Structure 1
Amino acid sequence: MALAIDLSDRVALVTGGSRGIGRGIAEVLLEAGATVVTCGRSEAEPPGGATHVTCDVRDPDAVRGMVEGVVARHGRLDVLVNNAGGAPYALSADASPRFHDKIVGLNLMATLTCAQAANAVMQQQEGGGAIVNISSVSGVRPSPGTAAYGAAKAGVDSLTGSLAQEWGPRVRVNAVDVGLVRTADTADHYGGDATVAEIERTIPLGRMADVAEIGRVVAFLASDLASYVSGASVACHGGGEQPVFLYIAQQSNGEAL
């Protein structure tokens, strides 16, 4: 029997879904047939077929209003993708307490805030729902320069398991631990295409992910194909990061990676 992801009867909300990884996720959910709503702090043009609403996901009242608006317009909310997040580079010794508070607020507390609002709807509707939290490999290894972000993402992985136990059986909660992903800003972020190519040589699969590849993992977790998957943190990182000592040793010996 052929397997296919069919979300044609689902309503999905993707936070931070108008650009980057979030946009890629929204596009895949649309391809799977879902009705998709994206949100962000400002007006934006969502992928074709989606609608966009403005919301500061750190504001509980705004989040509740957003979720109520989605349900009022579409009748239900089946999938929440907590994608909004990120952090600029800042060494921990130099960053202010306010900076750290904002990073943790966006990457961890906003995830919980949105999940609470979605769960309140999903628990009451036929079929329940699925929540997918976009986490990061930064949460499972040291994250120098983005320490508060890494700590927040470690919290997201822990939160995922706790919510899965609290909110089952009606609501499944999973996370995707995302590695390096190519977006429109990748070359600028890492200092050019040559540097990006060198970084990609350290990844076992030989390249960074495409945003659609993250989207397909999300679509699977949101679908009935993952009906017995809850509380999982799924690694999507191309095989992981090679130890630095091994990379240096191979480079010194002239060995191919």
Structure 2
Amino acid sequence: MDNRTVVVTGGTRGVGAGIARAFAEAGDHVVTCARRPPENPVKGTEFIPLDLRDRAAVAAFFAALPRLDVLVNNVGGTPYRRLTDAGAERHARVVELNLIAPLTASLAAHEHLRRTRGSIVMIGSVSGGRPSPGSAAYGAAKAGLQSLARSMAVEWAPDIRVNTLVVGMVRTERSDLHYGGEDGLAAVSRTVPLERLAEPADVGAAAVFLASDAAAYISGASLHVHGGGERPAFLDAATANNEKWKGK
């Protein structure tokens, strides 16, 4: 895997930084891009400022690369916002960042990846496969991202492999703000079968795998990185055999 060039969009913090670090530790030349520089740069990576919503800038960024072997479309995110709390334009911006930006980057990277017979890893979310109250536009965009990846895997085969990581809850430097401190994190962790949130390194390891020779025959797939999913609420609500379902 040495001497490959890997681009990780939004790779400056949180999950993106974990992905960038995993590829750097695997011996790859890693380029991260985001609007703002990293506060804590990942050792062994190069940062180039880029707004993934600026299509002309994205095209220029990829055209300037001498080589590209792997593109990780990690850029994305959303604030908590119920549908009726904002107009359609604000929700459209969420869709643009989480769906259109990965499509834009993939199209700009296509010729590089075709020449190197490279791969694309989309960073999806469990929000794309279940109701996402408070982040409905985000969930819809992530559902679209998985669909896009499957179609792209067919259209661009056999030259380029395209897969999706369906990521669950991840503990990052900002998780305590989202989940209400350590007590909130502990409570949320108990809803995961593996009894912990993912670490960015867990997502990074999965991304490295999908981009490796070990996954050479995997394309159009969705790999869940969610610790076993979410414990169904009815198990705790039901009274019959409640202790048995809790594993006690």
TM-score between the two structures when normalised by the length of structure 2: 0.95
Mapping 1:209-228, distance limit 5 Å:
209-228=198-217
The answer to whether 1:55 aligns with 2:46 is no
One-letter amino acid of the counterpart of residue 143, structure 1: S
CA apart distance, 1:120? 2.2
> Are 1:202 and 1:247, in contact at CA under 8 Å, matched by a contact in 2?
no
Mapping 1:150-189, distance limit 5 Å:
150-189=139-178
Rounded to whole Å, the distance in 2 between the matches of 1:156 and 1:18 is 21
CA apart distance, 1:254? 6.1
User: Per the alignment, in what secondary structure is the counterpart of residue 228 of structure 1?
Assistant: coil
Please give the per-residue CA displacement for 1:225-250, whole angstroms capped at 9, x wherever unaligned: 11000001111100001111223337
CA apart distance, 1:58? 1.1
CA apart distance, 1:62? 0.7
Runs of 4+ in 1 over 6 A off after TM superposition: none
Tell me which of 225, 230, 242 is aligned to 1:236. Answer: 225
The answer to whether 1:249 aligns with 2:243 is no
In the alignment, structure 2 segments of 5+ residues that lack a partner are none
> Are 1:16 and 1:40, in contact at CA under 8 Å, matched by a contact in 2?
yes
Partner of 2:187: 198
Rounded to whole Å, the distance in 2 between the matches of 1:188 and 1:122 is 38
One-letter amino acid of the counterpart of residue 112, structure 2: V
The answer to whether 1:107 aligns with 2:98 is yes
Partner of 1:83: 74
CA apart distance, 1:253? 5.1
One-letter amino acid of the counterpart of residue 51, structure 2: D
Partner of 1:23: 17
CA apart distance, 1:160? 0.4
CA apart distance, 1:199? 1.1
Identical amino acids, percent of aligned pairs: 50
One-letter amino acid of the counterpart of residue 52, structure 1: F
> Are 1:14 and 1:83, in contact at CA under 8 Å, matched by a contact in 2?
yes
User: Per the alignment, in what secondary structure is the counterpart of residue 132 of structure 1?
Assistant: strand
In the alignment, structure 1 segments of 5+ residues that lack a partner are 1-6
> Are 1:89 and 1:146, in contact at CA under 8 Å, matched by a contact in 2?
yes
Please give the per-residue CA displacement for 1:12-57, whole angstroms capped at 9, x wherever unaligned: 0000001000000000000100000000012335311111011111
One-letter amino acid of the counterpart of residue 31, structure 1: E
Rounded to whole Å, the distance in 1 between the matches of 2:150 and 2:243 is 43
One-letter amino acid of the counterpart of residue 213, structure 1: D
Rounded to whole Å, the distance in 1 between the matches of 2:80 and 2:243 is 32
Rounded to whole Å, the distance in 2 between the matches of 1:64 and 1:21 is 24
Q: Single out whichever of 150-159 and 50-59 deviates more from structure 2.
A: 50-59
One-letter amino acid of the counterpart of residue 4, structure 2: R
User: Per the alignment, in what secondary structure is the counterpart of residue 157 of structure 1?
Assistant: helix
Rounded to whole Å, the distance in 1 between the matches of 2:242 and 2:228 is 23
User: Per the alignment, in what secondary structure is the counterpart of residue 117 of structure 1?
Assistant: helix
CA apart distance, 1:9? 2.2
CA apart distance, 1:93? 1.5
User: Per the alignment, in what secondary structure is the counterpart of residue 36 of structure 1?
Assistant: strand
Rounded to whole Å, the distance in 1 between the matches of 2:62 and 2:198 is 30
Rounded to whole Å, the distance in 2 between the matches of 1:254 and 1:246 is 10
> Are 2:167 and 2:226, in contact at CA under 8 Å, matched by a contact in 1?
yes
CA apart distance, 1:196? 1.1
User: Per the alignment, in what secondary structure is the counterpart of residue 53 of structure 1?
Assistant: strand
User: Per the alignment, in what secondary structure is the counterpart of residue 93 of structure 1?
Assistant: helix
Mapping 1:6-155, distance limit 5 Å:
7-45=1-39, 46-69=41-64, 71=65, 75-123=66-114, 125=115, 127-155=116-144
CA apart distance, 1:101? 0.9
One-letter amino acid of the counterpart of residue 93, structure 2: K
